[in-house]
Structure 1
Amino acid sequence: MTPYSQYITLLFSTVLISLLLAQPVTARYEHIRDADVYLVRHMEKQRNGSKDPQLTEKGWVQAKKLRDALKDRGIQVIYSSDYQRTQQTAEPLATALGLTVKLYDPKNLAPLAESIQASGLKTLVVGHSNTTPELAWRLTGQPQPDIDEGEYNWTLYAINKGSFSLGPVDQHVEWKKPELAKIEVNKERLHSFESQFNMLFSGQKTGTATQTVKVQDNQILLTEVTRNKKFNVDATIKAVAKKEDLLPIAMRLTGSMGRAADINMEWREEGPNNNFRAIYGYSDIPRAVYKRQGRQSIENTLGLTSIERTTAIMTVPFWDNDKAFTFKWYDTYQFAERKIQYIPLGKENVTVPAGSFDTYKVKLSGGAPSQIFYISNEDKPKVVKIEVLHMPWVYELAQYKTL
């Protein structure tokens, strides 16, 4: 860690930008403290299949709010990657300050971090969902959380010497999410099955994922075997959950995920009246450079309704919730509890190698990455397709059998 990173701290704030313009600019942003360095992900981009998309209309509104929030902060240098969405995010502030935006290589952040540290100038860097946390890590030496690729909220880091504050950029904007609720399991949909998916990367099959779900007494036993030579993945996940409410009991991952991976988790009811749940175990998998590395021991207290990530993904067809809601899952890859939004998206006919199906679509948003599930309209429904949002991954059902 450099001397610079020993005394700077991190403000991480994720805020939904709306079109609220009623409050005076100074009133909306006066709570933001001055900082040495601001890092921000680009604003909302168009989803038109382009490799270099521009901002949406909403994204331009967000960029102008970034200008309003930072134009009186004494910024002397603005950096952007060489993409339209990042340059357009920087443009309103650069124009207001009469600055020329400097370009940097998002695939090589070390020189940029060194330049920022050496300059001593107040700086804004506009980046991406993967580069912004990494640059924050390079400047602070502190592990960083992921930014979900499917989220286009305003994600701002303000790095400052000696102190930090935490809060929304626009304190008068409320971020309204679906209410926190419990997953409702439809017992009529419960059944044992085995599904084999083709894994497509940019439209090309690169591997398979086989999911097995067995309903046994008062438990659900889940197994997923993923094999993908292109990415050196050969991993097996086994999980056990309660049948009634999907609350996790145990989870184990072994094999390779680019390199050797090993996760072992156990959930317990604790407290004088079993009034809270705790998780124990360890997680050792390949992680981005800005995450904590190596084997991480885990001992956390969780909410009474928090489920496990793999269990959630494999049991979505059993859920009986017909409206958008928010629930909590524990991500054993990143050893963190997350709030996930369940959002119904309507109906669609889908053709995959296993056949054509009338489906209803649901999105699980906030999981870094978010995913869309296509679920067959049957008495015993099954997932027939999974799209990983804003990434080139698609899973298509190839074979299915009940057990």
Structure 2
Amino acid sequence: MMTIKRIMMFLLLAVSVNAQAATFYVLRHAEKASDGSKDPALTEQGYQRAANLAGMLANAGIKKVYASDYQRTQLTAGPLAAQLGIEVTSYDPRDLPGLKEQLLKEDVNAMIVGHSNTTPMLVHLLSGQSVTNLDEANFDFLFQVVRQGEHVVVNTLRSAPTRAHAGLTDWQPLNDHWFSGSLTFNMQLNGDVVGQSVHAFSQTDEYYQLHEKTTIEAYKIEADIRAEVSRSKLAPLSLTMTGAMGQPVNIDLHWQGQKVTGHSQMAREPFKPQGTVDIDATLKPGTTERTSLIMLAHLLPVSAEQPLLVNWFNGYDADQRLIDITYEGEEQITVPAGTFDTYKVQYSGGAPSQYFWIDKKQPKVVKIEVIKSPWSYELVEAIQE
């Protein structure tokens, strides 16, 4: 039986020997150091990833290596360029259309190292296809864009090391942590309150009913979101969204087991499908729904000894991805609603990754922070029914 590594190498070699096909390998830089600088170098794991990439792509017929003019991208591209005996060509990540035209004109196999916000867009420009957005925690995605005339194929590969995904996959929610009532959060941008989000929770004997209403006038956001999930494994039953998120939104999704059908209309990143997306998909067993899992972070059985691995479905754009949920310790925090003794949980890989602070005394979320982002939520009022 062929190993995953050998299968990936077979795929790489299969496209590289076809002289009529130009193949582009588009990726984000490897893991960067958290040193507070605007131009950090790589971490030890990042250097290892760059070396692994050089080995992975050594026989892919690459003639050009591109990287933006930052340490983290140049250092990621460097090992392969050195191995091939070619120079790293710098490009302006603010001019992706210009880079696309240059790549198509050269029409040779190339590796292009960019950033979490530029890599999906470049893949879209080269292929015309939609692609998943990258999270702060995603460093192992390697998009292979194979062009042969007007025919384009996009393969999603992974570089080593991949995320461990060592968490528990078969779990039950902590239903005794259920909170009936409402939580009102201040939404903050760079520490300034710009809006409010109210999360309401109710239940029946079989399922939980969730209602989120978020208002940010300055950004023309007035969203009304409703979801239902089963009390067993938080299996999704329905998701609706009306109002506006800068533009009108209209989401209506329903589940029958792992079968989800409906539609989603909202503004999305330019490398995503635009307008109304019809959804008719069969999801992997155990797949949860993104909005519900965020609102119900206090029900997840995560601990220092046992992280979780969850597959979730994003009804906004029909994206599916694996989420690592880890316990990050205990912390006393103060928010407008008071001072709470909390435990901290991280959702990693969710595009975006997020931190949740959960009240230990009366389980509920009291603070949410979007990692590497100026956005945060702080509890203002909790009303228990």
Q: TM-score, normalised by structure 1?
A: 0.83
Determine if the alignment matches structure 1 residue 302 to structure 2 residue 283: yes
Name 1:320's counterpart in structure 2: 301
Query: Kindly tell me: are residues 245 and 63 of structure 1, through their superposed partners in 2, closer, same or farther at Cα, counting changes over 3 Å?
Result: closer
Determine the structure 2 residue equivalent to 1:133.
120
In 1, the alpha carbon distance for the partners of 2:71 and 2:29 equals: 10
Match of 1:32 among 12, 23, 28: 12
Aligned position for 1:347: 330
TM-score, normalised with respect to structure 2: 0.87
For the residues of structure 1 that align with 2:252 and 2:220, how far apart are their CA atoms?
Answer: 21
Q: What is the aligned partner in structure 2 of residue 229 from structure 1?
A: 217
Segment drifting more, 152-161 vs 368-377: 152-161
Cα deviations across residues 352-383 of structure 1 (Å, max 9, x unaligned)?
Answer: 222221111112222211212111111x3111
For residue 4 of structure 1, what is the aligned residue in structure 2?
none
Superposed CA RMSD in Å reads 2.8
Q: Residue deviations 1:302-330, cap 9 Å, x none? A: 34432221111111212334321212222
Deviation at 1:37, TM superposition (A): 1.7
Distance 2:225 2:8 in 1: 47
How many residue pairs align between the two structures?
A: 371
* Amino acid paired to 2:337: A
1:304–1:164 CA distance, 2 compared to 1 (3 A): closer
Unmatched 5+ stretches in structure 2? 17-21
The CA distance in 2 between the partners of 1:232 and 1:106, in whole Å, is 29
Q: How does 1:78-89 map to 2 (within 5 A)?
A: 78-89=65-76
Letter of the structure 2 residue corresponding to residue 371 of structure 1 = Q
With a CA cutoff of 8 Å and minimum separation of 6, indicate the structure with the bigger relative contact order.
1
1:187 alignment partner, one of 175, 185, 201: 175
User: Which amino acid counterpart does residue 46 of structure 2 have in structure 1?
Assistant: G
CA apart distance, 1:126: 0.7
Shift of the 28–333 alpha-carbon distance from structure 1 to 2, 3 Å rule, reads: closer
Percent sequence identity over aligned pairs: 35
Matched, 1:383 2:365: yes
Residue segments in structure 1 that go unaligned for 5+ positions in a row:
1-14, 16-22, 270-276
Q: Deviations over 1:113-154 (max 9, x none)?
A: 111111223322111122111111111111112222222225
- Residue pairs, 1:3-402, within 5 angstroms: 32-33=12-13, 34=16, 36-161=23-148, 176-179=164-167, 181-269=169-257, 277-322=258-303, 323-378=306-361, 380-402=362-384
How far residue 262 of structure 1 moved from its aligned partner, in angstroms, is: 1.0
- Aligned equivalents of 2:241, 2:7: Cα separation in 1: 50
**SS state at 2:135 partner:** coil
SS of corresponding position for 2:176 = coil
The aligned residue for residue 7 of structure 1 is none
Encode CA deviations 1:169-223: one digit per residue, 9 max, x unaligned: 668x776312552342223211212112222223333222111112344332211
Q: Which residue matches 2:19?
A: none
* Secondary structure, counterpart of 1:54 in structure 2: coil
2:152, 2:281 → 1: CA distance?
28
Cα–Cα, structure 1 residues 121 and 331, in superposed 2: closer, same or farther, change >3 Å? same
Distance 1:201 1:82, change over 3 A: farther
Give the direction of change, closer, same or farther, for the CA distance of 1:97–1:203 in structure 2 (3 Å limit): farther
